[in-house]
């Protein structure tokens, strides 16, 4: 029955009482809002004061409303995730492009055009729930697909490899990366002795170190980063034939990152930068999209590939196994309640569906064990699967019962299987035809604790990643090593890392050594296998080589003052609108300005609270008098100098000279500065912004 069916309303004085079909009533306020009640439905008469004995006397134990309210408050925080605590999520769908019946029996891939509901949670790894969005860190990219044959959780990252090869080392890795236990800091960063001590003693982490010291670890937006399933999985078709697969999410708006100095300042200006970006994009209808790509290969390729496909510290270059794009993921709805959905969503790598299966990747095998145990600890009950965000959207039936917060129990006589009761009382049965069937493999060998020899090459792909970067990206990577290791107190740890980098690239090692002030370059660390130095660069590994080709979905900050040229401001807005670029107006006061046509223009941000690090490009449109006023304001000068230092394109009107002169940039202007005088010049500016950064400036200043 509908909750409102059969109800009638009667009024008693200023209060309104609704009477249900069964005679029950509840009171609503005079303005139509429901009356506040306890969790038991008792209407609350006073929510402002506890029950006391006398005007200034002690509280009374019988105050059930206070006890219930404070009890719930005391318990409203569940344990945060040990890793990936800082997260943000959204709803959407996956749309399959064409039937993949030759590859898999998985239902979501059976029909072209089918849409499967999805929930995606992005996250950082090391920080707590209150840490900043722009920490240098791996980003979680976890996708829950509510298929017609159960939930499939593809629990991945924005980096396709990992630090370790065996799950038994995961507690050590996270302990080392988290705040040091004696002092409780640093938070959400790896720039400390424990992490780099661990990394320097684990050569297998070298490949991942290259990725995390690259700009991949400081993305501009969740929308502009790739996602990876990390491990090798299997696709299994109706005939039982298996195909190995690696899963990729390719952002349709291209990749983009920030620079390190910018990341630090963004964390100070807006620690929720990534959250706000996703919220703004989706609520404005600019729905983020990724394409699902599959790297498909067989046993023959696996046998001849230079590295072990079960090693999670390795990739398969796209040049060797091209990516087949088979569908798109669209995020089109924010959550209704952050806690109920984003915080309570439970991802488990073990959640797969018929047509998808595991491999013997030792890190994946350990994750399959760990995640379920983690969710039980965090959510407090094995019944977390009944929470709406975790529940399947297809029919489901089990004999599982009881436990804390059981929301459903068997409704028939039988709560066990097999049983001899009839269909109505006997409950569900297994289905050998439609049910999940594990792919049959033959396993043999001694039962031992070992690491296979095929996992022993720790440096070759790290080198391949490095040589695949542009000169700009290589410079950023080296600077990141220098920054992080400069925070390490023990010289011997710094030396060990540099010694390991010699197995990757001597020039990189020398640059880091010089940045650390090492007196001499240490000998390379002994390697289990020598580095293969002629692996071909892979274009897919460069962010700058895979940019968007468009400025759509980005944001420009336009600095305005009283007397701003109304026509020029209109041209900027029009040119940006044509390219689906967002514009925020930044002014001396949030109340706005009066332009030179006498129009009152509201501002989106006040200059003190909107530094240029929040924007992908900036435009300076002050009047001559306004520029002179801004020139005396540190925040305005920083707006310009930071945009310059971070290699952003800077559009400017004819009256910005005084502001430039106050920053000392008058003689340093370059081709990244575009003078705006009319519609043609503003369109030229927006077109240049598609390059995202004017990197020649960084090289000139290096």
Active site residues: 84, 157
CA distances from 329 to 91, 92, 155 (A): 10, 7, 15
**Residue 73, both tokens:** 């408050």
Rounded to whole angstroms, the Cα distance separating 200 from 522 reads 14
Handedness of CA 264, 269, 272, 277 (dihedral sign): negative
Q: How many beta carbons lie within 10 A of that of residue 621, not counting itself?
A: 27
Estimate to the nearest angstrom the gap between the alpha carbon of 336 and the chain centroid. Answer: 19
Handedness of CA 603, 604, 607, 608 (dihedral sign): positive
Residue 8 forms beta bridges with which residues? 19
DSSP 340: I
Rounded to whole angstroms, the Cα distance separating 674 from 335 reads 40
CA distances from 486 to 109, 516, 624, 662 (A): 49, 6, 44, 33
Q: Are 587 and 593 in contact (CB under 8 A)?
A: yes
Burial 690-699 (b: 16+ CB within 10 A, else e): bbbbbbebbe
Residues 6+ apart with CB under 8 A from 126: 83, 135, 137, 174, 177, 178, 188, 189, 190
The residue whose two tokens read 């350990």 is 366
Q: Are 104 and 356 in contact (CB under 8 A)?
A: yes
Which regions of 489-607 does DSSP assign to beta strands (E)? 555-560, 582-587, 593-594, 600-601, 605-606
């Amino acid at each position: 029955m509908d909750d409102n069916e059969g109800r009638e309303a009667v009024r008693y004085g200023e209060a309104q009482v609704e009477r249900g079909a069964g005679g029950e009533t509840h009171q609503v306020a005079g303005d139509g809002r429901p009356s506040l009640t306890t969790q038991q439905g008792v209407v609350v008469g006073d929510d402002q004061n506890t029950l006391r004995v006398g005007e200034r006397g002690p509280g009374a134990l019988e105050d059930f409303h206070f006890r219930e309210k404070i009890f719930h408050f005391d318990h409203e925080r569940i344990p945060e995730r040990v890793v990936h605590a800082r997260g943000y999520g959204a709803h959407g769908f996956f749309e399959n492009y064409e039937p993949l019946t030759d590859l898999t029996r998985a239902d979501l891939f059976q029909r072209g055009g089918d849409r499967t509901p999805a929930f995606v949670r992005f996250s950082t790894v090391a920080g707590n729930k209150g840490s900043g969005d722009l920490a240098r860190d791996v980003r979680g990219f976890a996708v829950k697909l509510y298929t017609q044959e159960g939930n499939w959780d593809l629990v991945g990252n924005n980096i396709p490899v990992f630090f370790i090869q065996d799950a038994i080392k995961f507690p050590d890795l996270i302990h080392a990366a988290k705040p040091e236990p004696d002092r409780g800091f640093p938070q959400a960063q790896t720039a400390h002795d424990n992490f780099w001590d661990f990394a320097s003693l684990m050569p297998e982490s070298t490949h991942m170190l290259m990725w995390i010291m690259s700009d991949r670890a400081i993305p501009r937006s969740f929308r502009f980063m790739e996602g990876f399933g990390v491990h090798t999985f299997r696709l299994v078709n109706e005939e039982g034939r298996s195909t190995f697969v690696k899963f990729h999410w390719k952002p349709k708006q291209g990749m983009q990152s920030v620079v390190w100095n910018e990341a630090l300042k963004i964390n100070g200006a807006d620690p929720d930068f990534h959250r706000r970006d996703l919220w703004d994009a989706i609520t404005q209808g600019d729905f983020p999209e990724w394409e699902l790509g599959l790297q498909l290969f067989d046993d023959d390729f696996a046998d001849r590939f230079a590295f072990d496909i079960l090693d999670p510290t390795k990739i398969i270059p796209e040049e060797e196994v091209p990516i087949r794009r088979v569908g798109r993921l669209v995020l089109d709805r924010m959550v209704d309640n952050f806690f109920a959905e984003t915080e309570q969503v439970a991802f488990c790598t073990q959640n797969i569906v018929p047509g998808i299966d595991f491999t013997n990747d030792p890190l994946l095998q350990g994750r399959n064990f760990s995640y379920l145990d983690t969710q039980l600890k965090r959510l407090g009950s094995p019944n977390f699967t009944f929470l709406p965000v975790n529940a399947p959207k297809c029919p489901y039936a089990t004999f599982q019962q009881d436990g804390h917060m059981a929301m459903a129990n068997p409704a028939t006589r039988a709560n066990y299987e097999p049983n001899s009761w009839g269909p109505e009382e006997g409950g569900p049965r297994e289905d050998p035809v439609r049910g999940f069937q594990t792919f049959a493999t033959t396993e043999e060998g001694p039962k031992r604790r070992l690491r296979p020899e095929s996992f022993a090459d720790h440096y070759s792909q790290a080198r391949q990643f490095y040589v695949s970067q542009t000169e700009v990206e290589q410079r950023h990577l080296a600077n990141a090593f220098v920054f992080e290791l400069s925070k390490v107190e023990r010289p011997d740890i710094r030396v060990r890392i540099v010694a390991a980098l010699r197995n990757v690239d001597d020039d990189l090692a020398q640059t880091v050594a010089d940045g650390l002030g090492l007196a001499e370059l240490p000998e390379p660390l002994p390697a289990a296998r020598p580095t293969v130095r002629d692996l071909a660069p892979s274009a897919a590994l460069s962010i700058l080589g895979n940019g968007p080709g468009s400025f759509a979905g980005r944001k420009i900050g336009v600095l305005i003052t009283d007397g701003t040229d109304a026509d020029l401001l209109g041209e900027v807005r029009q040119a940006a609108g044509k390219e689906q670029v967002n514009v925020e107006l930044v002014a001396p006061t949030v109340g706005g300005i009066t332009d030179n046509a006498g129009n009152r223009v509201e501002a989106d941000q006040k200059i003190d609270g909107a530094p240029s690090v929040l924007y992908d490009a900036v435009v300076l449109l002050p009047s001559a008098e306004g520029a002179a006023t801004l020139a005396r304001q540190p925040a305005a000068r920083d707006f310009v100098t930071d945009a310059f230092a971070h290699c952003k394109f800077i559009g400017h009107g004819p009256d910005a000279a005084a502001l430039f002169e106050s920053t000392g940039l008058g003689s340093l202007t370059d081709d990244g500065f575009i003078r705006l005088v009319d519609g043609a010049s503003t369109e030229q500016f927006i077109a240049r912004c598609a390059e995202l950064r004017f990197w020649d400036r960084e090289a000139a200043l290096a």
